[in-house]
Every structure is written in C-alpha cells, then in structure tokens.
Structure 1
Amino acid sequence: MNFVEELRWRGMLHDIMPGTEEKLNEGVIAGYIGFDPTADSLHVGHLTQIMTLIHFQAAGHKPYALVGGATGMVGDPSGKSEERNLLSSDILTHNQECIKRQLEKFLDFDCGANSAEMVNNYDWFKQFSFLDFIRDVGKHLTVNYMMAKDSVRRRLEGDTGMSFTEFSYQLVQGYDFYYLWKHKGCFLQMGGSDQWGNIVTGTELIRRKDGGTAFALTTQLIKKADGTKFGKTESGAVWLDPARTSPYKFYQFWLNTSDADAKTWIRIFTLKTKEEIEALEVEHDQAPHLRVLQKALAKDITIRVHSEAEYETAVKSSEFLFGNGSVEFLNGMAENDLLEIFDGVEHFQVAKAEVGNGINVVDLLGERTRVFPSKSEAKKMIQGGGVSINKAKVGAIEDTINADYLINDKFIVAQKGKKNYYLIIAE
C-alpha cells in the first residue's frame, strides 16, 4: 500500500512538500500528528487525522501521536478568531489520559518495527527555561518569517490582535518537530491544511538549527456540501466519548448525512477499499431512498469508535423510533442510554403509585400527561387507531395502563400517529 496514493484516491490529500513521496519510498519512516488536549475527548473533527495515522501505519510506516501537554497550555491560533482560555495542568493531565485511551482503539501499539507510540511534548518542555528557549530556538527564526504565516497575519489584521503567547505557538510546535526528528527519527509531520504554516516552521527550524531535512503533509479540512461546519449538530460537537455523545446520537450523525457528503465521507472515514466503495455507490444510486451509503458509513465508524454491540443497539433504537422495531430491546438498558434515545422527545411525569393502581388510558394521555390537549381528543384518536403504548395499538378507550406496561419499572412510551413520541416517567 502506497500511503500518499491512498490519501489521494480517498480525497484526503491537500499539500505535500516536494521530496516527501521519495522519502516514504525509502522504507519504514516515522511521522507524527499532534493532538491538543483541550477537552477530555476527541471529536469527529479529529477523525481525519486519526484516519491519516491509521493509513500511515497500514502502509508500513511508524506513527507517533503527540498529545500536546505543553502546547495545550499555550493555544494554537490557527483557524481561531480569538484567544482561547488556558487550562490548568491538572485538567490537561486528565484530558491527556482520556485522549490516550481513545487513540489506543485505532492504532496498533504492539506490531513490531512500525508500532505506534504516544509522546507528550510536556516531557521535553518542562525543564526548558524561557531564556534557554529564546536562545536555542527563537534565534533561528526571524519575526518577519513568523509574521508571514496566514494564521498570524489574519489575527493581526483583525480586531482582537494576538498575544505573545499565541504568537510563540509556531516556535513551540516547530521545536516539537525538531525534537522528534532529532530524538525519534521523525522525518514527517502531518496535520490539517490549517497546520501547514506551523509544520513548515518545524522543517525550517530543523534546517536552520541542524542542517537537517524533514517533510510536511496536510489533509483537506472537512466541510459539509451545504457549507455548514462538519462535526457540529444543534446540540454541539459530536464526541468520540460515549459519555459526551451517546453511541445512538453518534450513529444518527452519520446516518443523517446527505448523499453528497456520504460519497465523500465514506472514503475518508472508513477503511473500505476503492472497489467496495464504488460498488456501494452503484447500489446507492439505484435506490437512493434506501440510504445504502449512509448505512455503510454509520456502521463502519460506529463499530470502530464504540463497538458492534453499541452499533446494534443504535440500529434497534432507530428502528424503534422510525420503523417497526420492538420495545423489548429497551428492557435492561441503562437509564442514561434510554433517555439519550428519547432526547428531544417531550417527557411527562406521573406518580408510580398511580400507575400501580391502574390509570385509564384516556385519563393518562388526555389529563395526567397532556399528550393530548383534552380527553375528548384522546378518545377520538384512540378510536381511530392512531395511538400506541409501547409500540402496541391501544384497542379501546376503556383500556387500563398499569405497572405491567412499565419499561425498566419506570418508563412508558406513548405514540400519537407515526412520528410523535412521548416518554412517560413513573416516579
């Protein structure tokens, strides 16, 4: 497998420094990508870089994942319109450990010569004094060189300006590359296209400080076909940590992808071959309403980020809400997971004792919970066959809802028509 060609056909490659491909053809080459620990989880915006490292390792090369314990204390100005809040060392340490555990799910850390390794730039910066840094690093790059970078120029032309802390970021990241080149034999740094300036600063520092040669490669920044930001939903970022974004919501994010985006993203975010993807595209084009591409994309990435069991639960949850799925799979589900499925669904509360004694279905839906604005409307729709409790049609207005209907001894799912769900919580 040729690493650069793999990125090309997948539509991932953006910029590549001359000589990079030739260097990669020499044998096992070490390369790295940095991840700043600004949160205790990576999100789908990081997946392009994770996939880059996966392909890099699959091509026989040695990937380094740098968790920026030091750079996380500074803040990268690339693509930012204002300076971000700086985090405490305790929070950064916690975030680093969480990110390490996530990256270990994607990369092989025990496969011989090209085993992945994780490094933390705080390890080489913690004993580096300011005076040593400006003497040993800062003197090699001119202010003119640093100010010519797009990330710096845009901020200086804006209203907020730029602090010295952020201005120095490219020197810090440049030294990361120098350190890994000198001590780990890293000849290549990779990243998103917004990182080109910072990466090239590293290659320049290596050249000026030690007369060495290093290389740079960047990938496309992912955008939606409609121009909106990738990885964002109405509720915020889509995280890899299930505590932040449930596997169900994660699955839904990919499943709800547009046809145009699905054709792009299935190349970038899955490990399917060119032949497999082209076959799926043909199948999808023959029956777009079946959403073959979206389902294949959502399945592949949900299983790899979470697990096959979580994927199966997400599919059953979708079938339950949008198809003819059974309520049975909800029994035994953790309460938080169940509530995630019904996020955005209107909730009502009733007394558990009252359910235990039995409540007439019309009273429950048209008076106790206000699923219907009135009992008369509840009666009318029940008689028309348009009301379900726990996915089963309500047969008559005289029916009684009791404790036997409780899912996990607490929940009742009411349905008005095909798409209107309500969650009744008995406490």
Structure 2
Amino acid sequence: MSQYKSEFLRTLEERGFIKQITHPESLDEYCLSETPIGYIGFDATADSLHVGSLLQIMMLRRLQQAGGKPVVLMGGGTTKVGDPTDKEKSRPLLTDEQIASNMEGIKKAFEPFLTFGDGPTDAIMVNNDDWLSKIGYVEFLRDYGVHFTINTMIKQETVDRRLRNEQPYTFLEFNYMLLQAYDFLELYRRLNVRLQLGGSDQWGNIVNGVELTRRVADGEAFGLTSYLITTASGGKMGKTADGAVWLNADRKSPYEYWQFWRNTEDADVGRFLRLFTDLPIDEIEKLEALEGAEINTAKIALATATTTLLHGADAAAESERAAAAVFGNGSVDEALPTTEVPLVDIQAGMLVAAAFTAAGLSQSNGEARRLIKQGAAKVNDKAVSDQNGVLTEADVSDDGVIKLSAGKKRHALIKPI
C-alpha cells in the first residue's frame, strides 16, 4: 500500500523512481490539490541526449500522465559555466554557437515522450539564458549570495572530493550551484513552478533551489530525486563498448537502440521495464517472473517497448524483425545500420579494418585489427583471420551490401555506391 495519495507520487514509488523528497507530505497535497508544475534542467553539452538522461525524461512523462505540467529547462546559460557535479575536472567551455547548435539537437529527444502546447498540462520548453545572461553581478551577489554559506557549499560531495584530492575547483564552477538555485526561483516567479526533479547526484543543488525559493519568495517549493541507474554488474547506464547510447536517430539507429535494450542483463530487466516503459505493472510482473531462456521474451518486450516510445511502433517492429532475421538464420536485413562507401574503394580492395571503423563497429583500424586477431570479426558471417584482409566486389551480396559482425551481437552493413 503506497504512502502517497497523489497519482504522480504513487506511480513514481510503484515504479522505483523515488530516492529523496524534501517535503513529502506537502508535495503529495500539492499534487492532489492543483496541477503540479515540475521541471528538470538539461545542459547543452552535446548535440543529443543519451540513455543516461532517459530516466529524467521519463519522470517528466510520468508527471504529465498524472495530470501535471512538465517544464523542460534548457541550460543555455548554465552550460556556459559547466556543471561540475560528480566530475573530477572542469568541463571544457563551449562557445555560444556550439551551445545553440547542441540545444537544437537536444530538443528532438523530448518530442516522443511529452506533449507540448499551450494547454494547462502541456509541456513547455524554456531557456535559462533568457534570465541568466541579464543578471547584474553585483546585484546578484547582494540579493542572493547572502543565502549561501561557503561552509555548506564545500560540504557538497563533488567539492569535498576535489578539495581532498587537491584537484582544482574553479570559482567559475563554484558559481554553478548558485545559478541552478536561482533557476528554480526564476521559474517559480515566471511560471509558478513548485517542483524540481533530478538524479540524486543533484540533491544538493536541488535543495539549494528549494531553500532559496522559500526564503526569497516565501514560496512553497519541493525537490525530488531519482536513483542513479547502474547496471547489475556495476556499469554506467547508457555506456557500451561503442560509446554512449544516443537518443537521436542520426546518432544511434532504431535497430541499434533496440539491440541495446535487448542486451540488458537478466537482473535488470524488471527494473528497466518499470522505469523506461509504459507497460502495466501486472504485465511487468509476469515478464520479470520468467526464468532461464524465457527471460529473452522479457528482454524483447523491453526492447520493443522502449524503442516504440522513442522511435515509434513501426521502427520497433522492424527492429525486432531484423534482429530475429539476423540472429535466427544469419541473414542480412536492411534495418541494420548501413554505411555507404564509394564503389571504387571496394573495387580497389578496402581494408576490412577500415570497413569496420567506417561502419562504427570499431573506434579505429587498430581496434578492428584486434577484433580480427581475437576471432571476433566476421564478413558475411564468415570469420576473418587476416588483419590486413580486404573487401572486394566478390563480397557484395545479391542485396548489394556486405554484412560485418563484431562478436555475436553487433552487426552493420557496408553498401557500395
């Protein structure tokens, strides 16, 4: 039996999101009595978000599903400073042009998960550069600096760790927590935002914003954090041998995205079904009860449900069909990630190692040669033994492609044009 009465908090609790809440009873009452308005900030450090941000997006989705209004805060201003949280060294500073370009790419990730518009529960997107770039420094220090103490700030985990390890912690980074707290106050004033959501690594910053809003505006403000997701084996969520699992289709194809979820560790399947899909809890309980080889049925359900949310039902079904074809009978399927290369390169004899790198199955030709040496590289399902081997026109199938495989689970196509 849930301790919460509101649909939003009951859902988060049931699905395993909640780690910390600043004022649980008052937040529950707020969610019952009004249309709750909550936000999460996303800095523009890359041109796409990755799976590591998906939990935050899903919290905004749960808020909207429960009748609340999600606010997506783009960090056009805070990205200029760089969030030091959980970082061992300063982030590289980006230009205004890079930040603007990254924001355009990031915006695409939210559209499949949230309904944007002008309605009372429609999501909206705002940019904190709209107010942060207009702050007068002396006025900011006078009005808000008095509410922060150095004593408290240096106790935050990232600051404390950097100082203990005698690693530089710049004054620029030190200001980040003040700016993030000010964001909450500004959103409260502009949009009546009462709730900030985030990962538990942001707890200190979120509490700062809650306290600043309560002190300066005498506003009722709340903070809620989710667990930081690691895999059962201790790995970081969204990180693979190929790098980050990006949400934008131009960075990670629907098939690759589907395959990432299909490869979930057995012990994580039930938890990920709760967090990252809309499948009903009773259906999830049946899937997570499967054992032995049957757990693959649950993994396929997870992969298809997550891919449907991001890329649509057609792309998910096509990815599932492609995987069945590839892993069932070793056939070639057009849904596999495909890289076009000039036909003349194949006619001249393209290094297999170079082809693996071009297809994204290796980070470099050297890494591709190591795959070959380990017996993990295949061309058209046949193992490659020569580290200096080449692809020729004879390797092109009747479908006009060459299938490359790195291990048992990673596949791609080379298409001569």
Within the alignment, does 1:207 sit opposite 2:199 as a pair? no
- AA in 2 matched with 1:270: T
Q: Taking structure 1 as reference, are residues 255 and 128 closer, same or farther at Cα in structure 2, changes over 3 Å only?
A: same
Q: Where do residues 27-106 of structure 1 align in structure 2 (5 Å cutoff)?
A: 27-106=34-113
Q: What is the DSSP-based 3-state SS (H/G/I as helix, E as strand, rest coil) of the residue aligned with 1:166?
A: helix
**Partner in structure 2 of residue 320 of structure 1:** 325
Determine if contact 2:48/2:246 at 8 Å carries over to the other structure.
yes
**8 Å CA contact retained: 2:44, 2:75:** yes
Structure 1 Cα separation of the partners of residues 411 and 108 of structure 2: 37
* Contact 2:71–2:125 (CA under 8 A) maintained in structure 1: yes
Counterparts of 2:149 and 2:409 in 1: how far apart (Å)?
Answer: 62
Inter-CA distance 203–389: structure 2 relative to 1 (3 Å threshold): closer
Q: Which residue of 1 aligns with 2:390?
A: none
Match of 1:167 among 174, 199, 218: 174
**2:310 aligned partner, one-letter code:** V
**3-state DSSP of counterpart to 1:217:** strand
Over 3 Å counting, the alpha-carbon distance change for 1:107 and 1:136 in structure 2 is same
SS in 2 for 1:243: coil
2:399 counterpart residue number: 407
Q: How does 1:6-405 map to 2 (within 5 A)?
A: 6-18=11-23, 19-110=26-117, 112-282=119-289, 284-285=290-291, 288-289=293-294, 291-324=296-329, 326-327=331-332, 329-330=333-334, 337-339=337-339, 349-350=346-347, 405=397
Q: Which has the larger radius of gyration?
A: 1
Bigger drift between 289-298 and 33-42 goes to 289-298
Q: CA deviation at 1:211?
A: 2.7
Superposed structure 1 runs of 4+ greater than 3 Å apart: 287-290, 348-352, 387-391, 401-406, 412-415, 418-427
Instruction: Give the aligned length.
Output: 367
2:260 is matched by which residue type in structure 1?
F
In 1: Cα distance, 2:409 partner to 2:66 partner? 47
1:389 Cα shift?
A: 7.1
TM-superposed CA distance for 1:129, in Å, is 2.3
Q: Work out the CA distance in 2 between the residues paired with 1:220 and 1:419.
A: 29
1:389 and 1:228, CA in 2 relative to 1: closer, same or farther beyond 3 A? closer
Closer/same/farther in 2, CA of residues 403 and 142 from structure 1, 3 Å limit:
closer
Q: 1:66, 1:118 within 8 Å by CA — same for their partners in 2?
A: yes
Cα distance 1:424–1:195, how it changes in 2: closer, same or farther (>3 A)?
closer
For 1:236 and 1:414, the matched residues in 2 are separated by 19
- Find the aligned partners of 1:15 and 1:167 in 2 and give their Cα distance: 24
What secondary structure, in the 3-state scheme, does the structure 2 residue paired with 1:63 have?
strand
Greater Cα shift, 180-189 or 152-161: 152-161
Structure 1 residues 71 and 389, CA gap change in structure 2 (3 angstroms): closer
Q: Return closer, same or farther for 1:151/1:423 CA change in 2, 3 Å cut-off.
A: closer
CA distance in 1, matches of 2:177, 2:402: 56
- In structure 2, C-alpha distance between the alignment counterparts of 1:209 and 1:420, rounded to whole Å: 54
Structure 2 counterpart SS, 1:64: strand
Q: 1:279 to 1:134 in 2, by over 3 A?
A: same
Distance 1:194 1:404, change over 3 A: closer
Change in CA separation of 1:423 and 1:31 when aligned onto 2, cut-off 3 Å: closer
CA contact (8 A) 1:350 1:425 kept: no
Structure 1 length-normalised TM:
0.79
Counterpart residue type for residue 338 of structure 2? L
Which amino acid in 1 is paired with 2:142? R
Q: Distance in 2 between matches of 1:403 and 1:291?
A: 33
- Structure 2 counterpart of 1:154, which letter? R
